[in-house]
Structure 1
């Protein structure tokens, strides 16, 4: 669908304003409809945000101690707890929920379905963590969690996965039927429900699919001794999943080769609804690179945003950063062919952290 048009919004963090970036910015500053804050006297951080079809905003992240979300107060059970909160379209907090235990527990990704349910993923270190009174087992170090809440903030289910390594869920997406897709990293041997997985070497990117009731349908991981990870995930109208992240060396994903020789390369991959890896695209660079977020339209056209330093080769296009890390935005068709790439930045650190389409 090369003629399919979508307008894009790219969310980026510019640590320093630079001429290269300023040239692309509009002259008039944006007008904010509203702004709200939440938190307490200690560490509070939002790591994931999404908006449902009614304009409600969902936030997830972590907090320490006592934090205020409008009229709703959360108190952590230990060192750091995960939170999920909902605002209406006018910025009023409707509810806030937390979970965790005595260790460090974080929320990373959040998604919604057409019915207004929200889904969140992250990781938890606590051996005594509870989610709305439900005790969850920890297999060692950090484990992955996936939880579902209804529109009123009632927890419907929670699932965990992982092993004895530093495992995390980072990105989450939901298809039209309520199937949930999660990506992140698994270190060493671990389990998704009754499915045992061995990931030799360092961290390995995974993609898992659950149905709307939390039943695990399948899980796939990369193979090899190199480290790689999934950060962003999106689902098209046919139920295909697209993951963005990085590869840290040679290996395979669903039988397809990962050929990175040095550093960290950009990873973009497509999986069918049955978990078959349809294609893998790598962006080879001279040093660390990462696809931090990914989105797609219903037809399967894909956009990925992230960062790179030095040289980065995406298919037939090679780009060079202006100094330190630069941001990039790149596009693929449903078959994995790169369509175009844009970059921005200056001599300092610039990241591409999010990307979304308007559906036009």
Structure 2
């Protein structure tokens, strides 16, 4: 059924709920198609009046073009819960968005993975060729829903997967940078230590990789995944996730540790 008297469109729907600081629910919005739709990430702009939701859809969401398999979506709401616009983006292969962030100018950055070749933008020199299996994608939208640029990050092995899980913008620096984390089965930098490794990549707001060696990668033979990233006012970057091994000589307490 529908959440808070909303109508379910079929299978799984996306929802967005707003609470006030006392924990009182203000409104609930539900959005979907007759197929599976999942919301994975939410972000607000600097003054809290615009809310953005991203995830995946397996059909045409709000009459957008469906490309096949699963597509990514980005939906903008105002602080009253009124939908402003919906954008859908995909290839004929699987595409899933997990994380997003909004900078001080209202630009929206979304990350996830694609198993196809991504979305070239006229007049912009994008890196959009898939390197093998699934690649990380990072896209930038303007507040008016225009797609500005697309970047892919991956390794060349056809059986190796890369996924972006979280992205953040360094709002403390005079020259804003983006930091992106997730997982890789390949060797984005150096050698893969086994199974999945965590990666950390740094991009400019213009979509160019900032570090000369492209990314930072770490792991054990048991597998690691990065799920969250943030930056403090001194420019230090913090990455959180899980490990099945003993990362940096720490002791593993069981199957998977934080």
Contact 1:147 1:159 in 2 (8 A): yes
TM-score by length of 2: 0.88
Unaligned runs of 5+ in 1: 1-64, 252-256, 328-360
Distance in 1, Cα, partners of 2:184 & 2:230: 19
Q: Specify whether residues 196 and 308 from structure 1 end up closer, same or farther in structure 2 by C-alpha distance, changes over 3 A only.
A: closer
Residue 165 of structure 2 corresponds to residue 231 of structure 1 = yes
Are 2:111 and 2:167, in contact at CA under 8 Å, matched by a contact in 1?
Answer: yes
Q: Label 1:300 to 1:248 Cα distance change in 2 as closer, same or farther (>3 A).
A: same
Match of 2:205 among 261, 268, 273: 273
Equivalent position of 1:183 in the other structure? 111
Q: Which residue is equivalent to 2:144? A: 213
Q: In structure 1, what is the Cα distance between the partners aligned to 2:84 and 2:120?
A: 19
Query: Which residue number corresponds to residue 152 of structure 1?
Result: 80
Q: Greater RCO between the two (CA within 8 Å, min separation 6)?
A: 1
CA distance in 2: counterparts of 1:283 and 1:180, whole angstroms: 28
Which residue of structure 1 lines up, in the alignment, with residue 17 of structure 2?
A: 85
Deviation at 1:154, TM superposition (A): 1.7
Q: 1:246 Cα deviation (Å)?
A: 0.6
Which structure: greater strand fraction?
Answer: 1
Is the deviation greater in 176-185 or in 205-214? 205-214
Report the alpha carbon displacement of residue 115 of structure 1 after superposing the two structures with TM: 2.9
Which residue of the partner structure matches residue 66 of structure 1?
2
The residue aligned with 1:121 is 54
Structure 2 unaligned spans of 5+: none
Give how far 1:101 is off.
0.8
Partner of 1:43: none
Q: Give 1:211 shift.
A: 1.7
In the alignment, the residues of structure 1 paired with residue 251 and residue 33 of structure 2 have an alpha-carbon distance, to the nearest angstrom, of 45
Residues 326-355 of structure 1, C-alpha deviation per residue, up to 9 Å, x if partnerless? 11xxxxxxxxxxxxxxxxxxxxxxxxxxxx
How far off its partner does 1:141 sit? 0.7
* Residues in 2 aligned to 1:170 and 1:244: alpha-carbon distance in whole angstroms: 11
Q: Give the length in aligned residue pairs.
A: 245
Q: Matched residue of 1:278: which SS?
A: coil
d(CA) in 2 for partners of 1:269, 1:318: 23
Is the radius of gyration larger for structure 1 or structure 2? 1
Q: What is the Cα-based RMSD across aligned positions, in Å?
A: 1.9
Q: Partner of 1:309 in structure 2?
A: 244
Q: Structure 2 CA distance, aligned partners of 1:216 and 1:260?
A: 33
- Could you tell me how far apart the structure 1 residues matched to 2:147 and 2:176 are? 16
1:1-360 to structure 2, matched below 5 A, reads 65-68=1-4, 73-116=5-48, 117-126=50-59, 128-130=60-62, 135-191=63-119, 197-223=128-154, 224-225=156-157, 226-237=160-171, 238-251=175-188, 257=189, 259-260=191-192, 262-279=194-211, 280-312=215-247, 317-327=248-258
Residue-by-residue CA offset, 1:100-138 (whole Å, 9 max, x unaligned) = 211100100001112321111100012x432xxxx1111
**Distance in 2 of aligned mates of 1:120 and 1:326:** 29
